[in-house]
Amino acid sequence: MNKIYNPPKQSWEALLKRPTQTVDDIEDTVKEIFAEVRAKGDRAIAKYTSIFDGVQLSDMMVSDVEIEEASRTVSDDLKEAIQIAKKNIEKFHAAQQTPKIKVETIDGVKCWQEKRPIQKVGLYIPGGTAPLFSTILMLAVPANLAGCSEIVLCTPPNKEGVVNPAILYTAQLCGVSKIVKVGGIQAIAGMTFGTESIPQVYKIFGPGNQFVTVAKQLATKFNVAIDMPAGPSELLVVADDSGNPDFIASDLLSQAEHGTDSQVVFITTSSSLVDKVEVSIEDQLKVLPRKSIAEKAIENSKLIIVESKEIALEMINEYGPEHFIICTEDEDYYVNGVQNAGSVFIGNYTPESAGDYASGTNHTLPTNGYAKQYSGVSLDSFMKSMTFQKITEQGIRSLGKAIELMAEAEGLQAHKNAVTLRLKALEEN
């Protein structure tokens, strides 16, 4: 990892830059695939599945038989672990439900807000080197709690045209409506436009590589909403001498193994701790099955030593990490001071892995600094708020004059007339 001592503030922007391609590098490819999927539907999906995933499928839909076979393949221990995680995620997200809000703003004017589920949602679940069945829990559980009527899941198949059994087991456990063997840009395009096999959805959720991230952003140009620009995974750890170097190293590596374009950052006020963490990373890295992936991610990562916790906090908020771990004696300073982070993990015994899998919080989080303006996925992500109002005769008398004056001042006579006609009708009665 790159070790930097007391970097001047003017260097922070370059120092904290993510190792991602620009949209310009990717957008032309995404646009080309979108256009072809829109025009040719399943034929285009099949073409790009063959090119990118190296498999030709006679049927891209997962059958009930495949789901049953997958369920038999998954071990009882893993099933139990998935069910524990599901229970915790349900508990945390169910607690986010809010009642109808109703207010009488002035005599005779009643306004209220109610939430309605987004009817059709699409879930993108990465497969490839790490089949993220845990992401199904994070997305399908709140989708069901919200009451979404159609939940479509797209995930890439392997070279044999098979989807990971844990993905299929978790999907059926969480009430997914349809499972489609398609990944990458073509999956996002399929859910954006709809094809003969893939239903069109109103909102797309889920993480992915840089191509998937850009595809999701392009989908918004075609009246499809997305959860957030969720790209390659990232983690920032802050620690002082109270931090455990082996724990810190393990957390950094847990994100580095996601992909070669992942980034991990360690900020500390302790020079001696940096050296210990660096040694521990090298030792733990040797035995990781995904060593080659983690090594490349580590090349994009930083060990930063700063003079004070004040500088550390300022740098953290400037970076806006997806995942933020606090291992310091004065943890409240960072807990109260952090403004930009997707999800925060506090203390030596709170690994980021807990949030990834089973503690209950959602792991679909903003990356690339979008934590400055985006929230992670929650129950509200699968719902939309609608406002209602009912005005009585007394209400229009109370409010009418103000509306007339404001409409006239804006030069919108028809707006004024809509009120004036009602007031005159009341006077005549």
Q: Which residues are catalytic?
A: 322-323
410 among the known binding-site residues? yes
In contact, 59 and 163? CB cutoff 8 Å? no
What b/e readout covers 60-84, taking b as 16+ CB neighbours within 10 angstroms? bebeeebbeebeeebeeeeeeebee
List, in sequence order, every residue forming a beta bridge with 61; answer none if it has no partner. Answer: 180
d(CA 277, CA 271): 10
209 among the known binding-site residues? yes
Query: Which helix (H) or strand (E) covers residue 237, if one does?
Result: strand 234-239
d(CA 187, CA 141): 21
What tokens appear for 150 in the block?
A: 């159609």
Residue type, 202: Y
d(CA 361, CA 383): 18
What tokens appear for 304 in the block?
A: 């930063």
List, in sequence order, every residue forming a beta bridge with 237; answer none if it has no partner. Answer: 266, 325
Q: List the beta strands (DSSP E) in 260-393.
A: 263-268, 302-305, 323-327, 343-346, 383-391
363 among the known binding-site residues? no
186 among the known binding-site residues? yes
d(CA 103, CA 101): 7
Question: How is 160-181 classified by DSSP, letter by letter?
Answer: TS---HHHHHHHHHTT-SEEEE
Classify residue 308 as exposed, middle or buried by CB count within 10 Å of its CB (0-12, 13-18, 19+): exposed
Question: Residue 374 has what DSSP assignment?
Answer: -
In contact, 178 and 61? CB cutoff 8 Å? yes
**Residues contributing to the annotated binding site for Zn(2+):** 255, 258, 356, 415
Give the residue numbers of the binding site for NAD(+).
124, 186, 209
Task: Return binding residues for substrate.
Answer: 233, 255, 258, 323, 356, 410, 415
Sequence ranges of the binding site: 124, 186, 209, 233, 255, 258, 323, 356, 410, 415
